Amino acid sequence: MEFTGKDFENFKIHLRKAEQVLKSTRPTANDLFFGIDFVMKKALDNFDADIAKKYALKAANEYADWSAEMCRQIGEHGNNLIKNNQNILTHCNAGALACVDFGTALSPIRIAHYSKKNIFVYVDETRPRNQGASLTAWELAQEKINHAIIADNAAGHFMKRGKIDMVIVGADRIAMNGDVANKIGTYEKAVLAKENNVTFYVAAPSSTFDISAKTGEDIPIEERSEDEILYMHGMDEKGNINKFRISPKESTAKNPAFDVTPAKYITGIITERGVIKPTKEEIERFVGGKIIQQPL
């Protein structure tokens, strides 16, 4: 659709529609809403559709650059927690493919590797969407970081045997009491980490904190299609990606895409401004009364 300066009211209606469509795609991750709000504000702070479009594009680019820099800073702070010869477990993909350039959970791992630390990464396969086995393993392979994919079921076994020194995961949304919503299975790994005295860190920029969520109970959990459990995608011998059924045709599935990890299982949250404890006091001080940091 083309809009001119005179059509600015229609353009705003068009923008609001786009905003609604984008925001309705996923309910759980806070940064989706933050990013859209940021671009919307920059676009609507104008009185001319052509200028608004330019500002929207400029804002989106600014946002991407800001996000990459936040993630790099998370990596620097997180790297201080990683010792030489450590084995790190991660769950899902919180890397460059999820964020920009550095990622959140993968940023400390990346920077530890750039600093010549000898590390080994246990990559949770992360059923049902296999983000670990496909995306995270691929990113680590590109960086030549030593790693092995494990079944999500095996993480506890390796922790109990002392094979895992720390866990770093990303976050989709963090409540003001330090409860963290993240990919389904994160809660399981956090409970197992605590049980085995393994430190458990969440890596996330300030834009992931949601001051409207007092606790994890206020975070909506996306329920996704059961087909993600009943079917799977994989590459055949010819390199074609195919969908195939991995369960009986009479069976159904339940597929919550995220879970909430209560703050008590979390050692610390690695942000762009340092590592903070998952407590109400520390998070309130961190967000400083503001909803979130403004990009640059």
Binding site residues, a copy of itself, CB under 8 A: 122-123, 125-128, 130, 133-134, 137-138, 140-141, 147-158, 160, 183-185, 187-188, 191-192, 195, 226, 229-236, 242, 244-248, 250-256, 259-260
- Between strands 199-203 and 268-271, the pairing is parallel
Least Å from the CB of residue 39 to a copy of itself: 33
Indicate the SS3 state at residue 231. strand
Report DSSP letters for 12-46, one per residue: HHHHHHHHHHHHTS-SS-HHHHHHHHHHHHHHHS-
- Residue listed under structure tokens 């990683």: 82
Shortest distance (Å) from residue 215 CB to a copy of itself? 13
Which CB atom, from 57 or from 246, has the smaller least distance to a copy of itself? 246
Q: Give the residue among 30, 17, 70, 50 at the shortest CA–CA distance from 205.
A: 70
User: What is the biggest distance separating any 2 CA atoms in the chain, rounded to whole angstroms?
Assistant: 68
Query: Is the Cβ of residue 121 or residue 269 nearer to a copy of itself in the bound state?
Result: 121
Residue closer to a copy of itself, measured from CB, 76 or 215: 215
- For a copy of itself, which is the closer residue by CB, 123 or 287? 123
How near is the Cβ of 9 to a copy of itself at its closest, in Å? 45
Cα-only R_g, the chain: 20
Determine whether 172 is an active site residue. yes
Please state the closest distance from residue 291 (CB atom) to a copy of itself, in A.
28
Q: What's the CA dihedral at 16, 68, 221, 92 to 10 degrees?
A: 140
How far are the Cα atoms of 82, 145, 223 from residue 226, in angstroms, in the given order? 38, 34, 9
Query: Minimum Å distance from CB 52 to a copy of itself?
Result: 42
Beta carbon nearer to a copy of itself, 4 or 153: 153
Return d(Cα 282, Cα 273) in angstroms, integer. 12
Which residues are paired to 180 by β-bridges? Answer: 174, 261
Q: Kindly name the residue from 31, 152, 172, 179 that is annotated as catalytic.
A: 172
Q: Where in the sequence numbering do the catalytic residues fall?
A: 172
